[in-house]
Structures are given as structure tokens and as C-alpha cells.
Chain A
């Protein structure tokens, strides 16, 4: 028999079994309504779970992106200092992070799609539950048990089908979320262990350490140059002052002031 008809029959069989349990079919209405409310709670919880997972993946993505930016900056500094080997190392680590980031991006999109689907499913079920509640009261008020049977059967099997569908969607989302959480947990652990090239977040960041020490020796060189400059210029103004004493002290003082400013301005750049 056809696939789609068989699936539909299985759904109906499940609904009928619920109906058969009750002696008075009208009791089925209340029983089914209770189940509907439970299912609504379940699907909303499902939406929240998927959202939590999505946010966790988002945080991990942000962390990896920050690390990439840092490695990029380090590569730039290293290259500027003529250390191509260090720049290469930083860029190699950056590209290793890119693989992880790509994987996280795929997960993120998948979770986002699941979240949208479940939200839509929750809204569909909500509309049907509201319609069912109205119909339930009408049926209970208007019909005897015998008369009500057909109408109840229709209403209950329609909404049972919706609940079966939503229930499966929640189950699928939960299974997927559980898998992704396991992977997210693994990435967190890798990050914590430093094995995921997370050297930038560690105090023993070797690239940074080398850049820092390079920076430190640069600072010393620059300091030396500044001192030498001061010494040279310190002698020069005295000569100017000495030779130009007759021309007036104000001009000489002004020149000495400007000369003293120059190394400081150079230091900032």
C-alpha cells in the first residue's frame, strides 16, 4: 500500500486507541484536551532548549572570532618587525580556528532553522488547541454521548495527528540538540585544555611572549636613541645660547624648548 496512506492510517490508529479507552466519548474530549496542553508545554520547552543551544554556539563563535582577530593582529605586528616566521605561525593557527568556526556556523544555522520550525509548530498547535476547546464545549453541551461520537472522533483524530507531528518534531529537535551539545561540550573542553590552538587565551601565549620581548628590546633601543638625541641637542642649544647671547635670550629659549619636545613627539608615534 502507498507510503503516505499507510503513514496516515498509523496516525489514525493511534488516535482511535485513545478514543476507545473512554466509556463515554465525551470524556475523551477532556482527556485529549489535557494531553494537548501538555504537548503545548513540551513544544515550548523544546523551543527554549534549542534557543539555549543556539546561544551557546553563538558564544563559542564569538570567542573563536576574537582569537582569530588577535592572531591576525599578532601576524601583522610580527611581519612589521620582520619576523615572517612568527607571522606564519600566527596565521597557521588562525586558519586552524577557521575550520572549527565553519563547523560552528553550520550548527548555528541548523539550530536556528530548528528553532523557527518548532516555533511555527507551537503556533499551529496553539491555534488547533483553541479551536478544539471551543468545539469541545459545544459538543458536550449539545449532544448526547451517542450523537457526539462521530464529531468527537473527527475533532480528536484531527488534533491527535497534529500532536503526533509536533511530538515527533520536538523529539527530532531534542535528539539533534543533544548531539550538538555534546560537540559544543567537546569544543569547550578543547578550549579549556589549550589543545584547540587556544594559545592566545593562555598566559603562556608563545607568539605574544616573543612579540612582547621583541617589543621590549625595541623600547630599549628607542629609549637609547632618545637619550642620545637629548644629549646631542642638550649640547647644541648651549652652543646657540652661548653664541647668540647678544641677540636676546627669548629666541634661544624658544629653540631649546622646541628641540626638547621633538623626541617626545617621536616617542608617541
Chain B
């Protein structure tokens, strides 16, 4: 499956990694839900580290959309929240 790290581009990640990624994503979700700033940063960092570890960059002209989109490494919790709303940060 294809995963995008915002600001960095897309990576092809083997489907076998989905379980692990779901778990890490769950931790991120919990942190955002509980507004837990202390848990948020390590959760995001761990998720990004896993994706980078198992993924490899897609070809330059690949037009396939991503299944998962991960916020940029320095994203704040407020930025992630905005990403989750339709009027969020995404232009157009």
C-alpha cells in the first residue's frame, strides 16, 4: 500500500506491515483524542519511524493516491486536529 508522509512524499509499504502501523496509529489516535501532548509526539515519531523503516519511495511520476497519510514530523497536535476536519489545512 502507499503511505504519504506530509511534506516528504509517498512510500510503498508492504501490506504485511499494516498490523504494526495500525497499532502505532491507534496510539496516535488515543493521544489526539485525550489531548495528551506528552504521548502525542512519541506516538507520531514512532509511526513515522516504522513507515520509513519498512517503506521505499514511490517512482517520481506515480499518480496513485495514498491509502494512509501521516502528518509531518514537526506537526503540532493543533495542526493534526485541523487536518481531521474538512475545512482543515488542505488548500482547494
Cα-based distance from A128 to B85 in the complex (angstroms) = 26
Chain B interface size range: 35 or more
Residue from A8, A13, A117, A155 in contact with B69 in the complex, judged by beta carbons closer than 8 Å: A8
- Within the complex, the shortest CB–CB distance from B22 to chain A, in Å, comes to 7
- Within the complex, the shortest CB–CB distance from B81 to chain A, in Å, comes to 10
The answer on a CB contact under 8 Å between A154 and B64 is: yes
Interface presence of A223 (CB below 8 A): no
8 A Cβ contacts from A131-164 to B: 131-132, 135, 154-155, 157-161, 163-164
Cα-based distance from A132 to B21 in the complex (angstroms) = 30
Given known contacts A10-B86, A161-B65, A161-B66, A168 and B91 CB-to-CB distance under 8 angstroms:
yes
Interface presence of A14 (CB below 8 A): yes
Cα-based distance from A117 to B7 in the complex (angstroms) = 7
Interface SS, B side? loop
8 A Cβ contacts from B1-56 to A: 3-4, 6-9, 21-22, 25-26, 28-29, 32, 47
Given known contacts A7-B84, A168-B91, A128 and B63 CB-to-CB distance under 8 angstroms:
yes
Chain A residue with minimal CB distance to B29? A3
- Of the A-B pairs whose beta carbons lie under 8 Å apart in the complex, a sample of 29, sorted by A's number, is A1-B29, A3-B32, A4-B28, A4-B47, A4-B68, A4-B70, A7-B83, A8-B66, A8-B67, A8-B69, A10-B83, A10-B88, A10-B90, A11-B69, A12-B65, A14-B90, A14-B92, A18-B92, A128-B61, A128-B62, A154-B63, A155-B63, A158-B63, A158-B64, A161-B65, A161-B66, A163-B91, A163-B92, A164-B90
Interface presence of A171 (CB below 8 A): yes
Interface presence of A250 (CB below 8 A): no
Q: Which of B7, B63, B83 has the most CB of A within 10 A?
A: B63
Residues of A in contact, count (CB < 8 Å): 41
Chain B residue with minimal CB distance to A158? B63
Interface SS, A side? helix
Interface presence of A35 (CB below 8 A): yes
The answer on a CB contact under 8 Å between A5 and B68 is: yes
The answer on a CB contact under 8 Å between A168 and B89 is: yes
Interface presence of A47 (CB below 8 A): no
Cα-based distance from A35 to B92 in the complex (angstroms) = 10
Interface presence of A167 (CB below 8 A): yes
Interface presence of A99 (CB below 8 A): no
Interface presence of B78 (CB below 8 A): no
Given known contacts A3-B32, A124-B9, A13 and B86 CB-to-CB distance under 8 angstroms:
yes
- Within the complex, the shortest CB–CB distance from A50 to chain B, in Å, comes to 14
Given known contacts A3-B25, A3-B80, A8-B66, A127 and B90 CB-to-CB distance under 8 angstroms:
no
